[in-house]
Amino acid sequence: MKKVTLKQVKPYEAPGHFNMVAFRLSGKEETGSQKFWVGLSHFLPGGGAEFGATPAEKYYFVLKGEITVKTEKEEVTLGPWDSVYLAPNEGREIINKTNKPVSMLVVISY
Alpha-carbon gap, residue 42 to 20, rounded angstroms: 5
Runs of H (alpha helix) within the chain: none
Q: Where are the beta strands (DSSP E) in 1-110?
A: 11-12, 17-26, 36-52, 58-64, 67-70, 75-78, 83-86, 92-95, 102-109
Q: Could you give the C-alpha distances from 18 to 13, 72, 74, 78, in angstroms and in order?
A: 9, 20, 22, 19
pLDDT of residue 88: 98
> What is the average pLDDT across 73-89?
98
pLDDT above 90: percentage of residues in the chain: 96
> What is the average pLDDT across 76-105?
98
Is residue 30 exposed (0-12), middle (13-18) or buried (19+ Cβ within 10 Å)? Answer: middle
pLDDT of residue 52: 96
Kindly report the pTM of this predicted structure. Answer: 0.93
> What is the average pLDDT across 12-16?
93
What is the DSSP secondary structure assignment for residue 10, as one 8-state letter?
-
Residue 54: band (very low, low, confident or very high) from pLDDT cuts 50, 70, 90: very high
